[in-house]
């Protein structure tokens, strides 16, 4: 009985995947490109994305060193307490 249930689930999964593929690749008639002047006038032209300003300082590793020290303390403190208990 378990084989039939697994086979049924596989068939349903394959059918859903097929439906998704067909829905994404079949272009509806209203979405087809219209070359009339009205359609061209209504097209949206994207604006370019502004470049982000770089605020980092080249060669600055202060934050990395601080984070390394914090991680080292987090790791070493439990080891020290475990050694004292023995």
Counting residues of the chain whose pLDDT is more than 90, the rounded percentage is 13
pLDDT number for residue 34? 55
pLDDT number for residue 41? 59
Q: How far apart are CA 47 and CA 45, in angstroms?
A: 7
pLDDT number for residue 18? 87
Pick from 39, 72, 14: nearest CA to 80: 72
Pick from 3, 4, 22: nearest CA to 14: 22
The predicted model gives 20-47 an average pLDDT of: 65
Q: Record the pTM.
A: 0.32
pLDDT number for residue 75? 93
pLDDT number for residue 51? 82
């Amino acid at each position: 009985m378990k084989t039939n249930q697994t086979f049924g689930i596989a068939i349903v999964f394959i059918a859903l995947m097929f439906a998704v593929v067909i829905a994404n690749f079949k272009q509806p008639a209203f979405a087809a490109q219209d070359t009339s002047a009205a359609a061209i006038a209504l097209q949206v032209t994207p604006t370019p994305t502004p470049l982000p300003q770089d605020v980092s300082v080249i060669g600055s590793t202060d934050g990395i060193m601080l984070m390394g020290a914090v991680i080292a303390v987090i790791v070493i403190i439990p080891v020290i307490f475990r050694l004292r208990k023995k």
